[in-house]
Amino acid sequence: MKSETVAVHGGYDTEPTTKAVAVPIYQTVAYEFDSADHGAALFNLEADGYRYTRINNPTVAVLERRVAALEGGLAALCVSSGQAALNYAVLNLAEIGSNIVSVPQLYGTTYTLFAHILPSQGLAVRFAESDRPEAIEKLIDDKTRAIFCESVGNPAGNICDFEALAAVGARHGVPLIVDNTVATPLLVRPIDYGADIVVHSLTKFLGGHGTTLGGAIIDSGRFPWKEHARRFAMFNEPDASYHGLVYTEHFGAAAYIARCRSVYQRTTGAVLAPISAFLLLQGIETVALRVERHVENARRVAEFLRRDRRVAWVNYAGFSDNPYHALARKYFGGRACSLLTFGIAGGLEAGKRFYDALKLFKRLVNMGDAKSLACHPASTTHRQMSALEQEKAGVRPEMIRLSIGIEHIDDILADLDQALAAAQRQCAPLIAAE
């Protein structure tokens, strides 16, 4: 099925008992066992089924199957937030004393996780000088367990070359993890280009309505864990917490996601509530239509800003002179995502006046909502970073990040125009719009 159809029907057949067409909300903590032996078989991972909602749940399972199908993966695990998904995705394949290699252009909280939290737990993160494959490759050694990138950097707007990064990983026997939150599988499926693991903040475009937190880890099922048993002993040696179970032998291609659920979800419990899974499924049903409008509106906004003399610069991969335009053409079919950044003539103070004058746009740190949203990254999402760290992440002091919604484009442009006018009223000399 095509992605538009998967978004509506993927992972669910009519419920057999009641014939419910809508996905039921299984708001339950536990599930009855047929017998002592049945319960033992479930807890020994010898039988399929449900045992406790911290581990799995029928409503959440539909979401997991749908998200996996959208990304072209084998299986998925849905958790309480995008950050929980990223944390589990990395911890599941690393151990104390190992490292992962990351591009420098990252979402602010991801940077905090990588630069401070994981190192405090004994896992090093090496930040490359750029997102170029050669910059990544020179940091890989025998302790490296993964390469990480965002499909589109938030808010830097860079587009990573998945095929090239996947080839680097394959040469060294390490998987490529891609955060595909900004692009969504409607624009690109990184697994199609060699990525091994994909993570999402479902809170953003897939959920799409700013109501529900959620995250997902999607396993391609293609990484050869057995071939790299020395590097990834956790998948290839007996797990004492499961009576000596070996994940690659028991689960085959699904070893990665099975261990993530059985070890990290079961013991640390970043659980997605069934009602949250239901709400996210409602959002996913319309994601194809929304992304189409998001992308078209963003193109119109970028063109409007670029023509305006009150704007100093616009970072938008849809422009032919953008350094990432070739990759946008390769991976996104020439389209650009609806997250873009720009700077206002007059610098930081003019930018603050613009931000404060917005009326239709909501001033907040979310993105991917049906509503148009604006953010000043240097003072919010990347506030905990030093000026140098912000620069490496692609954040300028005057930068405004826009997440373009699905409202009528005339109303979006009118709000931007009036806010630009307000930003320039106190500037001297006055910069007139063309």
Distances (CA, A) of 400 to 160, 192, 230, 289, 358: 22, 32, 46, 26, 12
- DSSP result, 317-336: TTSTTSTTHHHHHHHHTT--
The pLDDT assigned to 393 comes to 64
The pLDDT assigned to 117 comes to 97
Report all structural domains of the chain as residue ranges with CATH numbers, in order of start: 3-283 (3.40.640.10), 287-424 (3.90.1150.10)
- Kindly report, residue by residue over 257-276, the tens digit of the pLDDT: 999 999 999 999 999 999 99
In the predicted model, what is the mean pLDDT of residues 186-204?
Answer: 98
Look at residue 59 and tell me whether its pLDDT is greater than 50: yes
Q: What is the mean pLDDT of the chain?
A: 93
In the predicted model, what is the mean pLDDT of residues 363-374?
Answer: 94
Q: Which residue has better confidence, 185 or 388?
A: 185
Look at residue 434 and tell me whether its pLDDT is greater than 50: no
The pLDDT assigned to 385 comes to 67
CA dihedral 308→313→317→319, nearest 10 degrees, is 50
- Using pLDDT thresholds of 50, 70 and 90, give the confidence band for residue 431: very low
In the predicted model, what is the mean pLDDT of residues 155-176?
Answer: 96
The pLDDT assigned to 45 comes to 86
- Using pLDDT thresholds of 50, 70 and 90, give the confidence band for residue 430: very low
The pLDDT assigned to 380 comes to 65
The pLDDT assigned to 253 comes to 98
- DSSP result, 371-390: S-EEE-GGGTTTTTS-HHHH
Q: Which residue has better confidence, 213 or 381?
A: 213
- Quote the pTM value: 0.94
The pLDDT assigned to 312 comes to 93
In the predicted model, what is the mean pLDDT of residues 127-144?
Answer: 97
With tokens 């993927």, the residue in question is: 10
The pLDDT assigned to 383 comes to 62
Least confident piece of the model among 2-11, 43-52, 72-81, 282-291: 43-52
Look at residue 428 and tell me whether its pLDDT is greater than 80: no
Look at residue 374 and tell me whether its pLDDT is greater than 60: yes
The pLDDT assigned to 408 comes to 98
Distances (CA, A) of 236 to 44, 251, 306, 312: 17, 11, 54, 54
The pLDDT assigned to 243 comes to 87
- Kindly report, residue by residue over 323-363, the tens digit of the pLDDT: 999 999 999 998 999 999 999 888 888 888 999 999 999 99
The pLDDT assigned to 72 comes to 98
